[in-house]
Amino acid sequence: MRFEHIESYQNNAITGTHEEVSYNAPLPALNVLYHLTDSWNLYANTEGSFGTVQYSQTGKAVQSGNVEPEKARTWELGTRYDDGALTAEMGLFLINFNNQYDANQTNDTVTARGKTRHTGLETQARYDLGTLTPTLDNVSIYASYAYVNAEIREKGDTYGNLVPFSPKHKGTLGVDYKPGNWTFNLNSDFQSSQFADNANTVKESADGSTGRIPGFMLWGARVAYDFGPQMADLNLAFGVKNIFDQDYFIRSYDDNNKGIYAGQPRTLYMQGSLKF
C-alpha cells in the first residue's frame, strides 16, 4: 500500500493570479511471482496509480474547473525467461483509467477525457548467437514489440475512438557485436500511425494541431571503444541517427504550442564518458 499527497501551485506575476491544487491518493498493489525453473518465471500483478495536472497545465485546468487527479488500475500477467543465452519476456496488460486528462490544442484547455481502457501485449528478447557457433561469438540480436489498443470508454460522441497520441504498434530491432573493447551496434525503432484528438480526425487542420500522424521506422548505428580502468574507464563512441534521413513528424501535445514538430534528420554524434 502506498499513499501519496501532492500540492502544487502556480503564481503568474504578469496577471497577478495564483492557482493551486492538492491531491490525496491511496494506491494498493499486489505482486505474485512463481518460479517454474531456475530460468523461467511467471508473474502477475495489479497496482493503482494516479497522475496530477502538470505545472504548465495548472492554470488552464483550474479555469476549466476540472482538476481531479487522473486515476488508473493496472492488471498484468506475463512470463520471463533467462538461461544465459536467451533472455525473453512477454506480458499481457489491462489498464483502466478514470478521469484521464486531455490537453485540447484547439481551444488551449485541460479537461478530463474521462474513462479510457488500454489493453495489449509487450514482449522483448535478446539472443546470444555465439551459442549456435563459435563464428558468431560476441554477436547478439534483440527485438521488442508492443501492441496497445487504447480506447476512449467515456459515453459520448468519441466512445470507442482511439486515445490520442497512442500508436497501436511500437517496437525495436537491433544487433550488437562486441569483440574485445569494441562495441558495434545497428538498431531501429518503429511505430504505427496515431491521432492527435479525441475525434480521431484524419485530415490535417490549418494550424496543424489535429490530423493523422503517419507511422515511421528509423535506423541508427553506433561504434564505441572502452579504454578500460587504466584510463578511468574512458569510453568514446561515434554514431549516426536516422541513417536514411527519413522525413517524419509529430504534433504538439500539452506544451502550450500548436502545430507539428519535424523529426530529427540524419544526425552524426560523438559521446564520451569517464568514471571518477
Q: How far is CA 38 from the centre of its chain?
A: 31
Distances in whole angstroms, Cα of residue 224 to Cα of each of 128, 135, 176, 219: 19, 22, 11, 17
Contact 76, 96 (CB under 8 A): no
Residue range 29-273, CATH number: 2.40.170.20
> What's the CA gap between 222 and 177, in Å, rounded?
11
Smallest CA-to-CA distance from 27 within 53, 39, 45 is with 45
> What's the CA gap between 267 and 241, in Å, rounded?
5
Q: Walk along the chain (276 residues) and give the pLDDT tens digit of each residue.
A: 888 887 777 777 887 877 777 777 788 899 999 999 999 999 999 998 887 766 555 555 544 445 567 788 999 999 999 999 999 999 999 999 887 766 555 555 555 667 899 999 999 999 999 999 999 999 999 999 999 999 999 888 999 999 999 999 999 999 999 999 999 999 999 999 999 998 999 999 988 889 999 999 999 999 999 999 999 999 999 999 999 999 999 988 765 677 899 999 999 999 999 988
Contact 32, 41 (CB under 8 A): no
pTM: 0.84
